Amino acid sequence: MRLAAVLLFLATAFATCQADGYIEQVTQDIHLLRPRMGAAGYLLQGVNCLSWRLAVETNNIRNWKLVPENCEQYVGHYMLGKQYRKDCEIVANTAIEYAKNLTLSGDGKDIWIFDIDETTLSNLPYYARSDVLFGALPYNNTKFDEWVAEGRAPPVPGSVRLYRTLVSLGIKIVFLSGTAERFREIRTSNLKEAGYYIWEKLILK
Ligand SMILES: *[C@@H]1O[C@H](CO)[C@@H](O)[C@H](O)[C@H]1NC(C)=O
Ligand SMILES: *[C@@H]1O[C@H](CO)[C@@H](O)[C@H](O)[C@H]1NC(C)=O
């Protein structure tokens, strides 16, 4: 009985603190630089992650090391959902239009340089792993290298289409990547498997 009374007291005290904290928070929140409310005062989930993403993409947040823990699901849903694919397709379409507009010299010196990771090959299967959590866990170089060594990266959506257009226009392809030289063989077969069948040069570190 006495224990129950103590627990009740603690629960009440906790609830009171919570309520105080809540009131304090509300008064601080009237200046909505980072809007946390949706229409009609409904709390909108994920808006803070959207603010974080916007700040990262506009390079206002720099040198960040980890995806905020509460944004892991937000990043995951974006990367695995339709939006990421659509965003990639737009980039590919724009690049294709740009390439078709170019006045080519036709002397064999027209070159298009591709990065590899997240440009031609996607590491999404790696980032989606439970021991990586889309970058919400600290980056582990050994682990990433082990993934590269598997040589199973799929193509980035839209990139093979861009690549094929470039090849058909007579533009030569160069891959330039921070991948270590020791992965040359596996990267070569990975690129071929993903649909990039020919290139002028593969420059590794
Ligand atoms: C391609 O050229 C057309 C016609 O000159 C122009 O309207 C368009 O903006 C150009 N596109 C790109 C991506 O440069
Ligand atoms: C990094 O990954 C490797 C290989 O999976 C593992 O053996 C090692 O413990 C990890 N290091 C850290 C700091 O988590």
For each successive 10 residues of the chain (205 residues), what is the average pLDDT?
43 40 45 50 65 93 92 93 96 98 93 98 97 95 98 98 98 97 98 98 98
Q: How far is the CA of 143 from the centre of ligand 2 (A)?
A: 6
Give the closest residue to 187 by CA, choosing from 152, 156, 143. Answer: 152
Residue nearest to atom 1 of ligand 1 (CA): 101
Atom of ligand 2 nearest to the CA of 131: 5
**In angstroms, what is the span from residue 126 Cα to ligand 2's centroid?**
14
Q: From ligand 2's centre to the CA of 122, what distance in Å? A: 22
Q: What is the pLDDT of residue 91?
A: 97
CA gap 66, 73 in Å, rounded: 13
Residue corresponding to tokens 């093979």: 160
What pTM was estimated for this model as a whole?
0.76
pLDDT at 14: 39
Q: What is the pLDDT of residue 41?
A: 56
CA distance 73 to 61: 20
3-state secondary structure the chain: CHHHHHHHHHHHHHHHHHHHHHHHHHHHCCCCCCCCECHHHCECCCHHHHHHHHHHHCCCCCCCCCCCHHHHHHHHHHHHCHHHHHHHHHHHHHHHHHHHHCCCCCCCCCEEEECCECCCECCHHHHCCCCCHHHCCCCCHHHHHHHHHHCCCCECCCHHHHHHHHHHCCCEEEEECCCCHHHHHHHHHHHHHHCCCCCCEEECC
Measured in Å, residue 125 CA sits from the centre of ligand 2 at: 18
What is the pLDDT at residue 124? 97
Cβ of 24 below 6 Å from ligand 1: no
pLDDT score at 48:
84
Judged by its nearest atom, the ligand closest to the C-alpha of residue 149 is 2
